[in-house]
Structure 1
Amino acid sequence: MTTTTSPTALDTAAVVESIADLVGEHYVFPDTARQLAALLRRRSADGAYRTETSEELADAVTADLRSVNGDLHLALKYHAVPVPPDRGSAVLAAMRRDFDASLGGVPHVELLDGGVAVLEIAPKMFPLDWAAQPLAAALALVAPARALILDLRRNTGGDPDTVAFVCGYLLDGRTHLNTLVSRQGEVAEQSWTPPFVPGARFGGSKPLYVLTSGSTFSAGEELAYDLQQLGRAEVVGEATRGGAHPRDGWTVHPNLELSVPVARAVNPVSGTNWEGTGVRPDVPCDAEAALDRALSLAVARLA
């Protein structure tokens, strides 16, 4: 049985003060950052967090962080096992276990009736230096298909470089996908499809459908949104969760990690992103029915 630790009032106040400092300094929207920092300090002074356990504190602070603009990447995350000093190694080790258990993030490849292929990418867009090989193999395998259904219903985020890599197989020519804008309003980074991908491409002209659910998040959403905005794919399923801001993390207590968005995404077609709204499907339906719906659309289009 796992137990949580109860920080003393002084410990809690110190943790919340450090969170307020970090949010105020780093959150991508400066005005909202100041508002959130003031809210946390006011709530702390009012005793709102005084009797919380570490886990309860994480829930309460997360609710307050999201109360202003609903940013789902703003969070205080509780870890039952204290985060080690080399937290990066621990996180990568856990991610690697998920990678190995999901065939490198490509747990399902299948050819359906009529030459329609299905490729699932889940549970993450794993780091590209890991994922390039299994993704290249799977994408080359489905390249001859007459139509492709890309299943992102269980994808909860990951590496934007992996998003660009996948798009390289589904588009013709080098394509601008996304721009990250810093807190200061400056272009921090641009995302483009790579000039070269190993293996055969599915290409930019054959029918492409992307399946989404209410669980699809972050980098999984970006892949669906980029392809939709470029007019390359029809999105079939449910509206996604709505998290578009890249984040950074800080350990503010051995059991508590703060997640703060540090930039915002700007799509070159829409001029905005999917933050708060989610990716809206072109063909709305229950997530469980999305595969059958996309298959019927593909077969009808091919006919």
Structure 2
Amino acid sequence: MTTSTTLSPAPVIDETARLVAEHYVFPETADQVADLLRRRLAEGAYDAGGAEELARLVTADLQSVNADRHLRLKHHAEPVSPEQGAATLAAMRRDFDASLGGAPRVQLLDGGVAVLELGPMLFPLDWAAEPLAAALTLVSRAPSLVIDLRGNRGGDPDSVAFVCSYLLDRRTHLNTMHWRHREGGEQSWSLPHVPGARFGGSKPLYVLTSGSTFSAAEELAYDLQQLGRATIVGEPTLGGAHPCKGWTVHPHLEATIPVGRAVNPVSQANWEGTGVQPDVPCAATDALETAHALARAATTEA
């Protein structure tokens, strides 16, 4: 089903502006963005076109104030549930079922270099713990490991901590989330125990990134980089460090609004706007070959 017919933009804009003002992690910016949407509506900027075009126009305006890539009006071709977060969750479930639970590739290259692709997302941990544990246990025996995040567009911070737990030797503070409507911060730590076997915290580890790597996948790369645990190979990532929630504002439209911000305990900063900068810059298409060569050299030297 497509949504090429026109719609009345006013109810969508009114509700989106209200949600941004109430929930966006930066209150002052939230008011600016909400005022901008209402002003653009009054100017007639959203009058022409259907739901898909409205999503494009509104997203451009939402991101025009501070370039927050998580702040969006998402179009869904099929009608979605009005329940909060249901639209995103349904789409994620389809991807989960089509990707072996988010671990679509495990490969052993020459020299004993294991490759584990995580994508297209880091799915909710209550879904993904079993396939992630199986894949991470399988590669634990390799002398070196490459984790491919080039096509990973984000997901669950709890799954980030779960993956990190297999790549470290001891319980480690990874990140702290600060929320709009909560006092203090919520710390994220690696787990003291994991199902299966750990790859551990000493063998060579490489993480592949691209200009499409986003959100929780960026956190995984950034956390490991800040801890000095992994070498990042590839391209700078997209630069989205604000966890978000989704609200259905029309049967085909979902407002996704960041409700928190990440602060890394090592850098006291995050990757918002700048992306994760690779330690070994190269084209994403060359990243696996580059990391493979680095891993083989490191294993030979050891």
Q: TM-score range by the shorter chain?
A: over 0.9
Counterpart secondary structure, 1:271: coil
Amino acid at match of 1:288: T
1:63 corresponds, among 56, 60, 64, to 60
Partner of 1:301: 298
Partner of 2:43: 46
CA contact (8 A) 2:79 2:251 kept: yes
Q: CA separation of 1:276/1:46 partners in 2, compared to 1, >3 Å: closer, same or farther?
A: same
Counterpart secondary structure, 1:111: strand
2:141 corresponds, among 127, 131, 144, to 144
Partner of 1:203: 200
CA contact (8 A) 1:125 1:220 kept: yes
Partner of 2:191: 194
Q: Map 1:80-229 onto structure 2 (within 5 A).
A: 80-86=77-83, 91-183=88-180, 186-229=183-226
CA contact (8 A) 1:4 1:80 kept: no
Per the TM alignment, residue 37 of structure 1 is displaced from its structure 2 partner at its CA by 1.1
Identify the range of structure 1 (286-295 vs 40-49) with the bigger mean alpha-carbon deviation. Answer: 40-49
Counterpart secondary structure, 2:115: strand
Per the TM alignment, residue 31 of structure 1 is displaced from its structure 2 partner at its CA by 1.1
**1:217-270, CA deviations, whole angstroms, 9 ceiling, x for partnerless residues?**
111111001000100000000111111100011111122110100010000011
Partner of 2:235: 238
Cα-Cα RMSD? 1.6
Identify the range of structure 1 (74-83 vs 225-234) with the bigger mean alpha-carbon deviation. Answer: 74-83
Normalising by structure 1, what TM-score?
A: 0.94
Measured in 2, the distance between the counterparts of 1:167 and 1:296 equals: 23
Per the TM alignment, residue 45 of structure 1 is displaced from its structure 2 partner at its CA by 1.2
Measured in 2, the distance between the counterparts of 1:272 and 1:185 equals: 19
Q: CA separation of 1:188/1:272 partners in 2, compared to 1, >3 Å: closer, same or farther?
A: same
Amino acid at match of 1:235: I
Per the TM alignment, residue 18 of structure 1 is displaced from its structure 2 partner at its CA by 1.6
**1:87-141, CA deviations, whole angstroms, 9 ceiling, x for partnerless residues?**
7556544433322221121111111122211111111101112211111111111
Normalising by structure 2, what TM-score?
A: 0.95
- Aligned identity (percent) is 69
CA contact (8 A) 1:117 1:149 kept: yes
Measured in 1, the distance between the counterparts of 2:155 and 2:201 equals: 24
Q: CA separation of 1:292/1:243 partners in 2, compared to 1, >3 Å: closer, same or farther?
A: same
Measured in 1, the distance between the counterparts of 2:82 and 2:11 equals: 20
Counterpart secondary structure, 2:240: coil
Measured in 2, the distance between the counterparts of 1:102 and 1:194 equals: 25
**1:17-75, CA deviations, whole angstroms, 9 ceiling, x for partnerless residues?**
22111111111111111111111111111111122322111111100000011100000
**1:191-217, CA deviations, whole angstroms, 9 ceiling, x for partnerless residues?**
111111011111001110000011111
Q: CA separation of 1:230/1:298 partners in 2, compared to 1, >3 Å: closer, same or farther?
A: same
Per the TM alignment, residue 5 of structure 1 is displaced from its structure 2 partner at its CA by 2.7
Unmatched runs of 5 consecutive residues or more in structure 1:
none
Residue 269 (structure 1) aligned with residue 266 (structure 2)? yes
Aligned length: 300
Per the TM alignment, residue 185 of structure 1 is displaced from its structure 2 partner at its CA by 7.5
Q: CA separation of 1:154/1:225 partners in 2, compared to 1, >3 Å: closer, same or farther?
A: same
CA contact (8 A) 2:82 2:248 kept: no
Partner of 2:11: 14
Identify the range of structure 1 (198-207 vs 99-108) with the bigger mean alpha-carbon deviation. Answer: 99-108
CA contact (8 A) 2:146 2:206 kept: yes
CA contact (8 A) 1:174 1:195 kept: yes
Q: CA separation of 1:151/1:2 partners in 2, compared to 1, >3 Å: closer, same or farther?
A: same
Measured in 2, the distance between the counterparts of 1:116 and 1:89 equals: 39
Identify the range of structure 1 (36-45 vs 279-288) with the bigger mean alpha-carbon deviation. Answer: 36-45
